[in-house]
Amino acid sequence: MSRYRGPRFKKIRRLGVLPGLTSKKPTPGSEYRIRLEEKQKLRFHYGLTERQLLKYVHLAGKAKGSTGQVLLQLLEMRLDNILFRLGMASTIPGARQLVNHRHIFVNGRIVDIPSYRCKPGDIITTRDEQKSRALIQNYLDSSPHEKLPKDLTLHSSQYKGSVNQIIDRKRVGLKIKELRVVEYYSRQT
């Protein structure tokens, strides 16, 4: 067996304090690293590419209000996320697939773009085909019946959901410091 001869401090930062390797104390993490981790959490949770997230950050910066909160509201109002919140899909990638395969109507029209931005008053339904309804019913049956936010309404018997208002920051289930994400992108440009 060979011994590890690489950078020790990198291992200590990753694994925690290992007193046998060095007497130096690791710093809790650079500001850059903390910002990067928050950005990555946001990216991976919503399934976005770097370019898409950058576009949302620019949109949020132009809007009125706190950039971080507006950013989260923009991401929460995406069609794939709304389907996930309604319980019509078990995961956000599952919701993306439903949308991509043309199982979802918004206000009576087929929408096959997962990033479609929903607005208050939008009605989300499934196609009338048996296959589409069976998929949604399977998700509705298997999902834990968590309390639906008051921003959304679900009529499971009709396979229909509606957006009542823009989703509030307090109701976002993700523990994230959106200010760090905004700081990350403000330092990049």
The domain that holds 114 is classified in CATH as 3.10.290.10
Residue 144 falls inside a structural domain: yes
- For tokens 């959490």, the residue is 41
**Against a cut of 0.75, is the pTM above it?**
yes
So what's the pLDDT on residue 116? 94
Please report, as a single letter, which amino acid is at residue 185: Y
68-72 CB contacts, 8 Å cutoff, 24+ apart: 68/178, 68/179, 68/181, 68/182, 69/169, 69/178, 71/178, 71/181, 71/182, 72/169, 72/172, 72/174, 72/176, 72/178
Same-domain pairing of 101 and 66: no
At 1, is the pLDDT very low, low, confident or very high (cuts 50, 70, 90)?
very low
CA–CA–CA angle 184, 29, 49 (5° rounding): 35
At 25, is the pLDDT very low, low, confident or very high (cuts 50, 70, 90)?
low
Residue 8 falls inside a structural domain: no
So what's the pLDDT on residue 2? 65
Same-domain pairing of 85 and 107: yes
Asked if residue 57 has pLDDT above 90, the reply is yes
Element (H, E) at 95: helix 92-100
Please report, as a single letter, which amino acid is at residue 186: S
Domain carrying residue 39: 31-74+175-188
Helix axes 31-46, 178-188, angle to 10 degrees: 110
The number of folded domains in the chain is 2
Residue 141 falls inside a structural domain: yes
Q: Copy the structure tokens of residue 132.
A: 């589409």
Same-domain pairing of 110 and 50: no
- Return the bridge partners of 109, or none: 106
Dump pLDDT digits (tens) for 121-178. Answer: 999 998 887 887 888 888 777 766 667 778 888 887 888 889 988 887 777 777 888 8
Q: How much is the mean pLDDT over the chain?
A: 83
